[in-house]
Structures are given as structure tokens and as C-alpha cells.
Amino acid sequence: MLRIRNIHKSYGRVKAVDGVSLHVENGEVLGLLGPNGAGKSTTISIAVGLILPDSGEVVVGGVGSPSEPAVRAMMGLAPQAVALYDDLTAAENLDCFGRLYGLDRSARRSAAASALERVGLSDRARDRVKAYSGGMKRRLNLATVLLHNPRLVLLDEPTAGVDPQSRSAIIEMVRSLRDEGRAVVYTTHYMEEAQRVCDRIEIVDHGRVIASGSPDELIGLHGGASVITIQTADSESRFETDDPVSELTLRLRDPGVMGVRIDRPDLESVFLRLTGRSLRD
Ligand SMILES: Nc1ncnc2c1ncn2[C@@H]1O[C@H](COP(=O)(O)OP(=O)(O)O)[C@@H](O)[C@H]1O
Ligand SMILES: [Mg+2]
């Protein structure tokens, strides 16, 4: 559904995107993970044709480039910065977006109703957006993306700064978009969330893809060892191991053991091992 080949984009001396290639199929969620400034949003902007790459190619739906309006009509983008009119109600916001997508009045009405239903805002449709919480704004931002029934959905940090209930609702919605056979690109900083929702992940840093695979593949390849913690009456010891079950069986022969804990590597371990611990602002 989306194929990006070797795209580059520089701003002066900053190489925002430095040779990214990726693809997303129908019925798949592709995660783009990376620290701040890694090039995720620039990659997404290039994918939807908002900015042109210095070099490289984007093909959507196997047919064409996002510079063609008919190709753009297949895509829906929820930008990182929520794009809504605060003084309008949710219904009025969706009506505006529906007009931009070229839907007629009755199509706009029914698309808005089903999008609101989908994000759990039907009963707040007549409220102005300025009265909404952060989570509600994010959900409405997602609703605007779905009005024209896009086959490719790009969500740039759709859960940034939302409450746990909204986060959970957004993750469920992404799963349902995938189950309907749409292709989804999803960027996030939240590793646990990526592990739950993404079929495949590209870890990006400094404008390049530095690792790709399913969450399990990435953890197996780059996650490092498991850590076993063993407590006795007067001490606590930690052991690193690649085979926690055998290691634990061995350690449990000691009658003094009072408690154990296994910490298996997760996507966060992978991310920190690959991108380092230094702060990125
Ligand atoms: N319009 C722009 N002008 C100048 N620099 C930019 C612009 N957009 C992005 N950058 C720079 O490009 C790099 C990648 O940014 P971005 O794609 O927003 O990263 P991410 O979304 O992964 O945080 C950063 O160093 C950012 O400062
Ligand atoms: Mg970004």
C-alpha cells in the first residue's frame, strides 16, 4: 500500500531523513519508533506529499506518487500537532474536513456520525472543541482522518499527552482499522504501546532505519539478556541469563530462596540499546 525507496531530505546541514526505505501492506500496522528529531514526522510528511524529498521515491497503492490528488485521496493523516478549530463544535470540525475531502452534504453527515461513534464522541458532537480534554481532542483528530474511508492511515504520535482511557481507546481503534484491511503507519514514543499494536517496527535514528522486524524479532535480536533477581533472608542477587527458566531451576535448589523475579527484555530495552541513553530534546 505504501512503498518508500531511499528518501533523503535535508534542512541546511541537518539531514532530517538520510536514506529511509520502508513498506506497509494492507491489514498491517507499521510502527516508526525513534527518539525526538529522528526523522519520523519528516518521513510521514514525505509519504503523504506534504513535502518533497530531495531524492528517492514514494509509491502508494502500487499506482502513483502522492503528488497526484487521486493518490492523496487514498490516504488519511493525523498530524503530530492536533489540527482542529477550537471555536467550532466537533460536528462542525468534521463537516469542514468532509468539505475538504469533497464529500457532499449527506455523505458528510453519515461519515461524521460514524467517525464520531468510532472515537466515542457521539454524545459530545455539539460541544465546542475548546471545552474538550486533551484525550478528546486527539480522538477527534483521528476522526477527521477517517471521513473519506482511506486505505492508508498515517498517525503521527496519536497518543501523545492523553489519559489512559483515551490511549486504550485509540489503540483499540488502530487495531480495528488494521482488521478492516487498512494499512497503518504509527509513530510513538511509548514502547509498550508499540509492542501491543505494531505488526512490524522500523527503529529510526538520525534519519536512518537502524533496525526492522516484528516486536519479538527485535527483542530476540537486540534486547539482551533476561535478569533474574533472587531474594534470600538477608540478601538479593541479580544474574543475567539468556535462558531464565533453566537458570532459575538451578538456583531454586538453594533452600534459602524466599523470592524470585524475572525481568525479560522488552522493546524499551531494544530501543535504549540501539539509540543510547543520552537525552534528545
Ligand atoms: N521545517 C524544518 N526546518 C528545519 N529543520 C527541520 C524542519 N523539520 C524538521 N527539521 C529537523 O529535522 C530533524 C527531524 O525532525 P522530525 O522529522 O520532526 O523528527 P521526529 O518526528 O522523529 O521527532 C530534526 O533535527 C528537526 O529539527
Ligand atoms: Mg515527530
CATH number at residue 189: 3.40.50.300
Distance 17 CA to ligand 1 centre (A): 9
The three-class DSSP label of residue 72 is: helix
Question: Do 203 and 269 contact (CB within 8 A), yes or no?
Answer: no
Q: Which of 219, 235, 250 corresponds to the end of one domain?
A: 219
- Indicate if 256 and 185 belong to the same structural domain: no
Is the domain of 56 the same as that of 145?
yes
Residue 280 lies in a domain: no
CB 40 within 8 A of CB 204: yes
Q: Look-up: residue for cell 535480536?
A: 221
- 181 and 238, same domain (yes or no): no
pLDDT at 189: 81
Atom number of ligand 1 nearest to Cα 32:
22
Q: Do 23 and 84 lie in a common domain?
A: yes
Domain count for the chain, please give it. Answer: 2
Considering the domain boundaries, does residue 16 fall inside one? Answer: yes
The reply to whether 107 and 7 lie within a common domain is yes
Q: What are the C-alpha distances in Å from 105 to residues 101, 102, 115, 214, 263? A: 12, 9, 15, 42, 55
Q: Is residue 271 part of a domain?
A: no
Same domain, 77 and 201: yes
Same domain, 151 and 20: yes
Alpha carbon nearest to ligand 1 atom 11, residue = 16
Q: With residue 40 as reference, give the H or E element that holds it.
A: helix 40-47
Ligand 1 centroid distance, CA of 40 (Å): 8
Do the domain assignments include residue 92?
yes
Out of 163, 195, 219, a domain closes at 219
| Domain housing 248 | 225-264
User: pLDDT tens track of the chain, all 281 residues?
Assistant: 999 999 999 999 999 999 999 999 999 999 999 999 999 999 999 999 999 999 999 999 998 999 999 999 999 999 999 999 999 999 999 999 999 999 999 999 999 999 999 999 999 999 999 999 999 999 999 999 999 999 999 999 999 989 999 999 999 999 999 999 999 999 988 888 999 999 999 999 999 999 999 999 999 999 989 999 999 999 999 989 988 889 889 888 988 999 999 999 999 989 989 988 777 77
Looking at the structure, do residues 257 and 136 belong to the same domain, yes or no?
A: no
What pLDDT does 63 receive?
A: 86
Residues 260 and 191 in one domain: no
Q: Find the angle CA(98)-CA(83)-CA(197) to the nearest 5 degrees.
A: 90
Find the DSSP H helices in 101-243: 105-118, 134-146, 164-179, 191-197, 215-222
Q: Which amino acid, one-letter code, is at 239?
A: F
Instruction: Clarify whether residues 243 and 175 are in a common domain.
Output: no
- Domain-located, residue 147: yes
Q: Are 187 and 71 within one domain?
A: yes
Burial class from Cβ neighbours inside 10 Å (0-12, 13-18, 19+) for residue 133 reads: exposed
Beta carbon of 16 within 6 Å of any ligand 1 atom? yes
Task: Specify whether the CB–CB gap between 49 and 72 falls below 8 A.
Answer: yes
Give me the pLDDT at residue 191, please.
87
Do 209 and 239 fall within a single domain?
A: no
Residue nearest ligand 1's atom 2 by CA: 11
11 lines ligand 1 (CB under 6 A): yes
Residue 146 lies in a domain: yes
The answer, yes or no, to whether any atom of ligand 1 lies below 6 A from the CB of 18, is no
